[in-house]
Amino acid sequence: MPEIEQLALAPISSLPEESFFDIVGLFLRSVDEVFFNDGVEESIAITIRSALGNRLMASSGWKRLGRSRSASIERHIGRAIATLFFNDHDFIQSAKCYLLPKAVDRLEPFFPVLEKLVESGPSLFVAIVTLNLLEVSPRSVHLSFMVTAAMTWLKSYPNDSDFWVDHDIGRRVCVWIDEVRRQEPALLDTDTPVRFDVDRLLAALISLGVADAKRMEEALAGGSRVGG
């Protein structure tokens, strides 16, 4: 790790913002290729992502994004953010997760880093790349992270139908939670801590007109699946 810090992280972190954003997209993508092919230790991969994530969160571009309600994303910072969430993104294609389903089994140790990013910059683009990542292969062990992310977005977009309905965030969240419920119904029993947040989330989404939220609420009450 000291060599990585000296040869890569320190020089990259010292770059001007736009150059830093560009290099993060390239460097971190390569780190992920090595990590998911068992070429670097998990602790090192996490430390690298955390260091670059902290540098990103300290940037003025990130702070502007957190205050913005625009649906667009500046292409330099967009690629950096996407890569931190294991997504590819450039000006000719929408963000798309580059992990295969089998790699999702190794995601959980990265969630503290990703959760900091979600809470620090609850923007539409961050919501999109987060959902892209989690939708690759929904896992019950990821439920807490999903609910934390969704509740963070709800605080920032409490009455924003564009965010939840027009950009499909509400439907995607509900469908994902339902898939996890199908895998392990007991996770959303009425006496579980996460159920309280899910109920609050669904109530808010119903008031915003997210049809899948109403179906999800009924499914939780009656034990059926969402859909149709």
HSE-CB at 211 with a 13 A cutoff on CA atoms is 4
Q: What percent of the chain has pLDDT over 90?
A: 80
Structure tokens at 204: 């808010």
Given pLDDT bands bounded at 50, 70 and 90, which one contains residue 228? very low
- CA separation for the pair 216, 114 (Å, rounded): 26
With contact defined as beta carbons under 8 Å apart, do 143 and 194 qualify? yes
Task: Say if residue 1's pLDDT is above 50.
Answer: yes
Cα angle for residues 158, 160, 163 (degrees, 5° grid): 110
pLDDT digits over 2-36, tens only?
888 898 899 999 999 999 999 999 999 999 999 99
The pLDDT score that the predictor gives to residue 226 is 53
β-pairing verdict for 87-90 and 93-97: antiparallel
Asked whether the whole model's pTM tops 0.95, one would answer no
Give the Cα separation of 9 and 88 in Å (integer).
21
CA distance 188 to 184: 8
pLDDT in tens, 60-109: 999 988 777 777 888 899 999 999 999 999 877 889 999 999 999 999 99
Q: Which tokens hold the place of 86?
A: 């294991």
Report the percentage of the chain scoring pLDDT > 70. 97
pLDDT at residue 95 in the model: 94
128-173: per-residue pLDDT in tens?
Answer: 999 999 999 999 999 999 999 999 999 999 999 999 999 999 999 9
The distance of Cα 127 from the centroid of its chain, to the nearest Å, equals: 6
Detail the DSSP E strand segments found in 53-92.
87-90
